[in-house]
Chains A and B, each alone.
Chain A
Amino acid sequence: MSKNIHDIKRVAREGIIHVLLNEEVEHERRIIMIGDWTFANIQKDVESILNDEASAIFYDAGLLAGKETSKLLLNEWKERGKDFIKRWVRFYEETGTGWFKVKKFDINFEKEEAIMQITNSFIVTGYGKSEEPICHFLNGYFAGTLESILGKKITSKETMCEAKGDPYCEFKLETY
């Protein structure tokens, strides 16, 4: 079987789907599928209890997930630099996980900063309208991803969000 990261293996009668990262069983990861509305409902419930703290929880969860996943992808894919980014974008768009559509992902490798612009964030489509940016998980996820790519501590801020009525979600990433 191909080592392509997009390949999935369904384990019959066990209710399990694995992403195949390579042929060694220990490098497989179980994946699950949930609706964008389910994710949004979880976020709204956490926000109703924890208020502003909720954003930190989702940001931290995204940060960790972004770091871990990007490490796996860097291990699995040969591409580096801009070629890695191109493949990474394809992976998260409709040909891969379908989390969002990338409008712009500019990394300044010298200054170690980046701007990411996306549309169709799964958080926005599930969540609906908001007065504040809501893509906390993706905000952290992009920071974690760039941390793995650059090997530096990265922080991210969502400066525009489709949920607010902005034309796209924008994230500004920089070292700290």
Chain B
Amino acid sequence: MGNRETLNTIFGPSIFLLVLDLFVNNPDDLMNLREIARRVDKNPGSVSPIMPRLVERDMLIQTKIGKVSYVYQLNSNNEIIQLLFEFNNKLQELQS
């Protein structure tokens, strides 16, 4: 599905929003930190500090897959995430 930087363009720039955009555009994808960093074109060291905040806010689900390794996936059941889906859809309608 790629990565439209909708939230980051409107409300950013912000790494938090850049990562959120990535997951909202790819709701089924499981990604580790390196993959996330690669897809938003940032160093993993820049991205890692904001990951706990996305997890604490229940926007992402963090799953431990190794001793110190985690993968992340969008929490599509989160009400704010569902609002973001609606927001993106309405914005697309507006822009088409």
B34 touching A59 by the CB < 8 A rule?
A: no
- The 18 listed contacts between A and B (C-beta, < 8 Å) are A52-B50, A53-B14, A55-B49, A56-B15, A56-B46, A56-B47, A59-B43, A59-B45, A59-B46, A60-B42, A140-B46, A143-B43, A143-B45, A155-B44, A155-B45, A157-B48, A176-B34, A176-B43
Q: Enumerate B22-81 residues with CB–CB distance to A below 8 Å.
A: 34, 37, 42-50, 53
Docked CA distance A176–B15 (Å): 19
Which residue of A is nearest B50, CB measured?
Answer: A52
- Most chain-B CB neighbours within 10 Å: which of A56, A153, A156? A56
A52 touching B53 by the CB < 8 A rule?
A: yes
Q: Does chain B have a CB within 8 A of A139? A: yes
Which residue of B is nearest A158, CB measured?
Answer: B45
Residues of A within 8 A of B16 (CB): 52-53
Which residue of B is nearest A144, CB measured?
Answer: B43
> What is the size, in residues, of chain B's interface with A at 8 Å between Cβ atoms?
15
Residues of A within 8 A of B48 (CB): 157
How many interface residues does chain A have, given as a range?
Answer: 10 to 19
Which residue of B is nearest A176, CB measured?
Answer: B34
Residues of A within 8 A of B42 (CB): 56, 60
A-binding residues in B (CB < 8 A): 14-16, 34, 37, 42-50, 53
B-binding residues in A (CB < 8 A): 52-53, 55-56, 59-60, 63, 139-140, 143, 153, 155-157, 176
Docked CA distance A154–B42 (Å): 11
Docked CA distance A59–B15 (Å): 13
Given A176-B34, A176-B37, A53 and B45 contact (CB-CB distance below 8 Å): no
Residues of B within 8 A of A63 (CB): 43, 45-46
Docked CA distance A155–B37 (Å): 10
Known contacts A157-B45, A176-B34; 20 further A-B pairs (Cβ under 8 A): A52-B16, A52-B50, A53-B14, A53-B15, A53-B16, A56-B15, A56-B46, A56-B49, A59-B45, A60-B43, A60-B46, A63-B45, A140-B45, A143-B43, A153-B43, A156-B45, A157-B48, A176-B37, A176-B43, A176-B44
